[in-house]
Amino acid sequence: MGETLPYALRAIYDYLRRDDRGTTIPQMRSLIIALTAMAILLAETHTRRKIALARVYPQPGQLGLFVAASDGSDEHPLLASADTDYDPAWAPDGGSIVFTSERNGSADLFRVNPDGSGLKQLTADPAYDDQATFSSDSKQLAFVSTRGGGTANLWTMDLVTGRARALTSGPGGDFRPSWSPDGKWIAFSSGRDNPVPFASGRWERLQLSDIYVIRPDGSGLKKITKSGNFCGSPKWMGDSSHVIAYCMTAEQTLANRRASPDPGNDTRLVSIDTGTAASTELNTGPGVKINPSWLPGNETGYIRKDTADPGIYYSSGRRGPAGQIRGASWSPDGKLVVFCRRANTPRPAGGAKRTFSRNSKYELSLTGILPAFSPSGRELVTNSPPSATPRGSSISVTALETGISKVVYEDKNRNVLVGGWSPDGRRIIFAIGEFAAFFDGFHSRFLKVGDRAETGARLAIVNADGTGLTELTAEPGNNAFPSFSPDGKRFVYRTFTEDGYGLRIMNLETKTGKILTRQYDNFPLWSPRGDLITFSRQIEGAYEIYTIKPDGSSLKRLTFTKGNDAHMAWSPDGEYIVFTSSRMGFKDEVAYTDAPQPYGEIFVMRYDGTGVEQLTDNQWEEGTPAWQPMAASHIGGR
């Protein structure tokens, strides 16, 4: 609680000492207890840790459930009160639908009647619960959960008792279970035993996945594809001996994460014999096809993402509901379909929306790209992405009390990346240049150091009211992610030049600089205490977090996990670092997520790398956190 609680207790003591009205000892004790409790409550409220972060997709309310005839007619919302609802599954007995919702915080499972009545919550764990499927008798569920270890594994649940138990374990990630009609097997896709390589020339990870089957008691695990690429979303066909799945190359798992994938990335639908592992490609036409389902009459229904007219298609050539659909399940007779569709819901006024945190002491809010709080904590600066092309973007400042935003810098030809505020709150430092790969999410290549140096990116500073633009660097190179020292006299930034790369420190007044590091380092951030700079370094095929003193001494590695750790932010007192990590891996098949890196989660740790704690747990891409300063407090040395 820092200095707040001692100050409050001193105030109570001073008040009682000044009291000359003859207060009795019991009265004084009661008053002390009451005022102490009030002081503690106020201190806890005062010191609640508020963190802003960016989410690529979805924003709250952008995913909803609908029911329609299989041809798309008579479409209507499934629920009277919608929220972020997705991944529906129709029970084999036709009597209910299970789905995932974030209406109460974390992703939990709910059940509802097909007419929208009888809504019931089935799980209430802070972990991620999703992708449920019914057993053939409609009495059990198989679903994906991060309970236990934080990675996606399969669980089963008895719908009568509510008892859940783990079916699989391990770090690879298990997804999209499907229970066989005879009740003897569960098919699923999995990244187990597969590498998670970088996409060619980029920093995003590819998803490799195979199809497995397992018995409901956890025995008989068997791999039935060996593609070395990706196959997913197995659904059983009528005889309980074959599953249908969609497959693509590993490289296509990047392109097909887009909401509207580019032409030339068609997926294949295949039928797989679960006994022999023999596969047969089905002739279902072109397109990025996902979510295949075998339907009565030997028809296959699936979702297409790539077309100008996306939605549900059938192997017979007929059409179903239209739109950006991301999950569908048919009634047992195939006449009705329940589906999840995304909508372009505008961001709430004020630019922030609360989101679930696994630790209630940390208040998380979704904001714009690269958020940065002013030193007072009353204003938030964010990036606005380009509207139509990878070039051109702006910087906006939002007053948190009123929600009113103002564009303070806009460039129609170059991209800008927010760095942060000057310690006095009067100026904003940022980068201007060629950052297409950061903004377009998929199309640009991740440039080599030499190529990056040629593209050019400069550092600049502008007053918080939009006046006084000054460029700080003029030499050739690609410079970005500047961060002020606490005294406002220097700033640290990352650079790629023909002479090398790494971190540099510049004196703001003299424009002279010095080399801090010469490695492949990025995202530097100066501690509020002034004694450390944190940054992310590419090492051993991943990005890890380090700290270093401003004089170049005491280099220390803080993270040692598989995956990327980056995009850090210091707590206002310099005691903690919040950051983004991919260490928990994929939690769903990427084609359903519409995000470049759907494995980004928010973590927090102490400045020395100890006390690591996970704050978010979902299948979305979240990152670039910022810590909101509270009332001014003393920041001492370590």
Instruction: Please determine, for residue 212, whether its predicted confidence score (pLDDT) is greater than 80.
Output: yes
Q: What is the enclosing helix (H) or strand (E) of 4?
A: helix 4-18
pLDDT at 58: 86
pLDDT digits (tens, 9 = 90+) for 71-90: 999 999 999 988 899 999 99
DSSP-based three-state secondary structure for 57: coil
Question: Which contacts qualify for 389-397: CB closer than 8 Å, 24 or more apart?
Answer: 390/415, 390/436, 390/439, 390/440, 390/443, 390/444, 391/415, 391/436, 393/439, 395/428, 395/430, 395/462, 396/368, 397/428, 397/464
* Integer Cα distance of 372 and 625 in angstroms: 8
Q: Work out the mean pLDDT of the chain and round it to a whole number.
A: 88
pLDDT at 200: 82
pLDDT band at 516 (very low <50, low <70, confident <90, very high): very high
pLDDT band at 443 (very low <50, low <70, confident <90, very high): very low
pLDDT at 360: 94
Instruction: Please determine, for residue 45, whether its predicted confidence score (pLDDT) is greater than 50.
Output: no
The average pLDDT across 186-199 equals: 94
pLDDT at 634: 52
Instruction: Please determine, for residue 391, whether its predicted confidence score (pLDDT) is greater than 50.
Output: yes
More confident residue, 252 or 19: 252
* Integer Cα distance of 189 and 144 in angstroms: 11
pLDDT band at 187 (very low <50, low <70, confident <90, very high): very high
pLDDT at 23: 47
pLDDT band at 378 (very low <50, low <70, confident <90, very high): very high
The alpha carbon of residue 203 and the mean position of all alpha carbons in its chain are separated, in whole angstroms, by 16
pLDDT digits (tens, 9 = 90+) for 268-287: 999 999 999 999 999 988 99
Phi-psi region of 34 (alpha: psi -120 to 50; beta: other; left: phi over 0): alpha
Say if CB 615 and CB 126 are below 8 A apart.
no
- The amino acid at residue 154 is L
The average pLDDT across 434-461 equals: 54
Indicate the DSSP class of residue 607. T
Torsion angle of C-alpha atoms 72, 77, 83, 88, degrees rounded to 10: -50
pLDDT at 638: 62
The answer to pTM > 0.85 is yes
Structure tokens belonging to residue 278: 């023999």
pLDDT band at 102 (very low <50, low <70, confident <90, very high): very high
- The amino acid at residue 372 is A
pLDDT band at 343 (very low <50, low <70, confident <90, very high): confident
Instruction: Please determine, for residue 350, whether its predicted confidence score (pLDDT) is greater than 80.
Output: no
Instruction: Please determine, for residue 469, whether its predicted confidence score (pLDDT) is greater than 70.
Output: yes
Instruction: Please determine, for residue 452, whether its predicted confidence score (pLDDT) is greater than 60.
Output: no
pLDDT at 586: 97
The average pLDDT across 565-589 equals: 97
Say if CB 397 and CB 464 are below 8 A apart.
yes
Hunting for tokens 């019991």 — which residue is that?
Answer: 26
Lowest mean pLDDT among 239-243, 336-340, 472-476: 472-476
Instruction: Please determine, for residue 67, whether its predicted confidence score (pLDDT) is greater than 80.
Output: yes
pLDDT at 347: 54
Indicate the DSSP class of residue 634. -
Structure tokens belonging to residue 579: 């950051």
pLDDT band at 369 (very low <50, low <70, confident <90, very high): confident
List of residues 6+ apart from 514 with CB closer than 8 A: 504, 505
pLDDT at 470: 94
Q: What is the enclosing helix (H) or strand (E) of 7?
A: helix 4-18
pLDDT at 70: 98
Instruction: Please determine, for residue 9, whether its predicted confidence score (pLDDT) is greater than 90.
Output: no
Other beta carbons within 10 angstroms of residue 40's beta carbon come to: 15
pLDDT digits (tens, 9 = 90+) for 105-160: 999 999 999 999 999 999 999 999 999 999 999 999 999 999 999 999 999 999 99
* Integer Cα distance of 564 and 202 in angstroms: 13
The average pLDDT across 339-351 equals: 70
pLDDT at 13: 39
The average pLDDT across 539-561 equals: 95
pLDDT at 324: 95
Instruction: Please determine, for residue 8, whether its predicted confidence score (pLDDT) is greater than 50.
Output: no
The average pLDDT across 297-302 equals: 96
Instruction: Please determine, for residue 632, whether its predicted confidence score (pLDDT) is greater than 70.
Output: no
- The amino acid at residue 593 is T
Residue 460 backbone phi and psi in degrees, to 5: -145, 165
- Spell out the alpha helix ranges (H) of 70-198: none
pLDDT at 215: 99
pLDDT at 60: 79
CA distances from 195 to 172, 187, 213, 257 (A): 9, 21, 20, 19
CA distances from 552 to 277, 480, 504, 510, 547 (A): 57, 19, 10, 20, 10
More confident residue, 40 or 209: 209
The average pLDDT across 354-376 equals: 94
Burial class (CB in 10 A: 0-12, 13-18, 19+), 377: middle
